[in-house]
Structure formats: structure tokens, C-alpha cells
């Protein structure tokens, strides 16, 4: 066996040892089945070394390769802590399902990665909520919707609803990176030759304007899915704080895009003149984005003006936003224009922040 392949064989042996140390009742161990690990061993033996270097590994396996046993134990303990609060077998199965999921089609891999980041953050937020000692309820149905909200905590005898979501790497950036990787596979000399100017730009990361739009879309995914105000995961009768995690590879959390987006979202837009149709396409103006995204740049006439108003005013259900770089809290913002029942005090926001001040090493 070549020295290069010995590296992968030793890596596999290390993962098997970590699985053994975690124990047979560990959700992570249960995802690393004998069938999965035997398949990886057969793949290493049968595949040329050059191709192995560019292979896609199962996410849970890659994760266990990268993390120490102490980091895996911390993650495992958080999973078990949240599992202990699940009310049904189906809830427990759904919580750990992402550990075993494998995308068989290339077009599914981006979605799988997004789910992977999202479930990690969801487990971390719920585990921290439990450890806070506050009254906590998970996946509670909203009064006026069939949707559930992620976490409800009681602060000063008041229910605060927390909704978590994640922005990971943009799909177009990963596609540019994949093009670069394919080019490298065909040449022994690393090069960016063959990439277009646009692909090279994407390899450097998204523009601030692109990042602002991604924040808008992510907020509205929770606020009014598919731009339907009825399909909301936020309540009109109690405070809703959005927990927005930007993965470190997205390079969004510490950029100006966060301030730009929150400034726009939490403003008051009194009339149609704020639609600013004369602004350029790259403008971060929220009404212009909403007009472009929902109405395809058509004039917002009297017939659909009520829909625009409903989408614009839905933002007032957001009481505030906590922004994380991975799981490191880096921004906190109160929406002073929230609906009266959704307004939060500075003390309530501060106590919510304190729930999530302890970072964990296991988040990707």
C-alpha cells in the first residue's frame, strides 16, 4: 500500500477508535455504522490515490476525522441533553436524522450541507437554553399558524420566542470552487487558469450587496415563506428574537452587510416613494429588493399594494436579532419599530444574549 493511502487507512482507524470511545449508545456512533465504515475501507482500497484526494466523504465521517474526542463528546452530550427533552420517538428521530443523511446526487449536496450546519446550530441553541435554567419549551405551535417555533423561554414571566436559522456558503461560490477543483484534478500544477473573471470573483467571496440580499431572503424564509405572510414562524402576540448564524466560511457575520441589512429591515417605510425605482440594481434598499424579488420590478399598483404592505409590515413581528459567527455572538439588535406586543426591553434582550455567550468548539 502506498504511503498516501496509509494516511487514509490510519484516519479510518482513528474514527473507529473515536466511535468506540463515544460508546454504543451515542447518536454519533450510531450514525457511523459498520456498513458505512466498511464501504469507506473498500473505497480506499479500490480507488487510485489521486481520485481519493478529491473525493466527497460522508459528512459525519469527515466531522469525526476533524474533531478531537473531547469535541465530539461535547457535541454528543448536547445532542443527548436535547434528546432528553423530546416528547416523542418521532421528535428524537428527526433531531438526529441529519447525522445519517447522505446525498446521492450532486444537486442534493448543497442542501445537505445547509441542513448539516442548521441542525448543528439548532442543537447548540437548544442545549444552551436548557442549561440556562429558564422555563423552556421546544417546537411549540404558534397560536395563529400550523407552524412551530424553535424555542420558547420565560423571562420576567413573559414568553420570548426564539427562532434559529443559518446562512452557509453560497451555492454559486461552491460551484466556482468545484470548477477550480476539477481544473486542478486535470493538472498537477495548481492554477486558476480556465476560470472566468466572474468565477474568480466568487472564489474570493460574496460581495457585500450579495450578502445583504442573502440576509433578506433568510429573514423572510422565517417571516413569510415564499413571500406569503400567512406562512410565518413568528407570532404577532409575543416577542420573537431571530438567532441568525452565519458560518465562518460565508464571511458575513463580521461584515458591513449585517448592519446594512438590519438598518434597512428595521426602518419605517411610509409611502411608495421609498420604493426608489431609480436606484441601481446593486442597491441594498429593502423596498427595492422586495419589489424586485416579489413583483419582478413591475409597478406595485392598487391591486397588489396590500400584499406589499403585508410583507413590509411583517417585519414588525421581529423583536430583535442576535447574529452569530458560527456560534460566537457578535451582533445584537432590537427592533424599536416592532409591534407593541412584540417589543422587548433592553433587560429581556440582555438576558437572551446571556443564554448564548458560551461558545462550543464542535460547531463547523
Residues in the chain: 364
Whether 188 is covered by a domain: the verdict is no
Low-confidence ranges of the chain (pLDDT < 70): 1, 53-55, 102-111, 144-146, 169-206, 269-283, 297-300, 303, 364
Write out pLDDT tens, residues 130-175. 999 898 988 888 776 667 888 999 999 999 999 999 988 666 666 6
Show which of 50, 66, 100 is a domain's final residue.
100
Specify the pLDDT at position 122. 93
Query: Which letter does DSSP use for residue 252 in this model?
Result: -
CA Rg, the chain, in Å?
23
Asked whether residue 214 falls in the same domain as residue 310, the answer is yes
Asked whether residue 164 falls in the same domain as residue 74, the answer is no
Question: For residue 133, what is the enclosing H or E element?
Answer: none
- Name the residue range of residue 319's domain: 125-170+206-364
Q: Which of 52, 50, 12 is nearest to 32 (CA)?
A: 12
Asked whether residue 7 falls in the same domain as residue 131, the answer is no
25 C-beta neighbours (distance < 10 Å), count: 9
Whether 81 is covered by a domain: the verdict is yes
Provide the domain count of the chain: 2
Write out pLDDT tens, residues 330-362. 999 999 999 999 999 999 999 999 999 888 877
Asked whether residue 75 falls in the same domain as residue 161, the answer is no
Listed as own residue / partner, the contacts of 174-177 with beta carbons closer than 8 Å and 24 or more positions apart are 174/110, 175/202, 176/200, 176/202, 176/203, 177/203
Asked whether residue 211 falls in the same domain as residue 274, the answer is yes
114 touches 166 (CB < 8 A): yes
Amino acid at each position: 500500500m502506498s504511503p498516501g493511502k496509509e494516511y487514509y487507512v490510519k484516519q479510518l482507524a482513528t474514527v473507529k477508535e473515536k466511535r468506540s470511545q463515544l460508546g454504543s449508545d451515542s447518536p454519533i456512533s450510531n450514525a457511523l455504522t459498520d456498513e458505512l465504515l466498511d464501504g469507506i475501507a473498500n473505497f480506499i482500497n479500490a480507488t487510485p490515490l489521486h481520485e481519493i484526494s478529491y473525493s466527497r466523504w460522508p459528512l459525519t465521517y469527515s466531522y469525526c476525522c476533524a474533531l478531537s474526542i473531547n469535541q465530539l463528546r461535547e457535541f454528543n452530550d448536547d445532542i443527548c441533553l436535547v434528546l432528553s427533552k423530546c416528547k416523542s420517538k418521532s421528535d428524537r428521530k428527526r433531531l438526529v436524522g441529519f447525522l445519517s443523511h447522505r446525498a446521492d446526487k450532486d444537486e442534493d449536496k448543497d442542501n445537505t450541507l445547509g441542513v448539516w450546519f442548521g441542525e448543528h446550530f439548532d442543537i447548540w441553541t437548544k442545549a444552551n437554553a436548557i442549561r440556562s435554567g429558564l422555563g423552556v419549551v421546544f417546537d411549540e405551535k404558534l397560536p395563529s399558524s400550523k407552524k412551530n417555533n424553535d424555542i420558547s423561554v420565560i423571562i420576567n414571566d413573559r414568553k420570548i420566542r426564539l427562532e434559529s436559522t443559518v446562512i452557509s456558503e453560497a451555492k454559486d461560490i461552491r460551484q466556482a470552487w468545484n470548477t477550480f477543483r476539477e481544473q486542478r484534478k486535470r493538472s498537477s500544477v495548481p492554477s486558476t487558469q480556465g476560470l472566468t473573471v466572474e468565477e474568480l470573483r466568487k472564489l474570493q467571496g460574496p460581495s457585500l450587496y450579495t450578502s445583504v440580499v442573502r440576509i433578506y431572503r433568510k429573514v423572510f424564509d422565517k417571516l413569510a415563506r415564499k413571500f406569503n405572510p400567512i406562512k410565518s414562524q413568528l407570532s404577532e402576540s409575543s416577542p420573537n428574537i431571530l438567532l441568525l448564524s452565519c458560518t465562518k466560511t460565508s464571511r458575513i457575520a463580521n461584515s458591513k452587510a449585517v448592519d446594512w441589512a438590519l438598518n434597512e429591515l428595521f426602518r419605517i417605510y411610509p409611502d411608495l416613494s421609498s420604493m426608489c425605482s431609480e436606484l441601481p440594481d446593486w442597491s441594498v434598499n429593502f423596498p427595492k429588493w422586495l419589489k424586485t424579488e416579489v413583483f419582478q420590478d413591475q409597478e406595485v399598483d392598487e391591486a397588489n399594494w396590500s400584499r406589499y404592505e403585508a410583507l413590509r409590515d411583517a417585519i414588525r413581528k421581529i423583536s430583535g436579532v442576535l447574529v452569530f459567527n458560527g456560534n460566537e455572538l457578535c451582533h445584537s439588535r432590537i427592533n424599536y419599530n416592532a409591534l407593541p406586543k412584540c417589543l422587548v426591553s433592553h433587560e429581556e434582550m440582555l438576558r437572551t444574549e446571556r443564554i448564548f455567550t458560551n461558545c462550543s468548539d464542535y460547531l463547523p
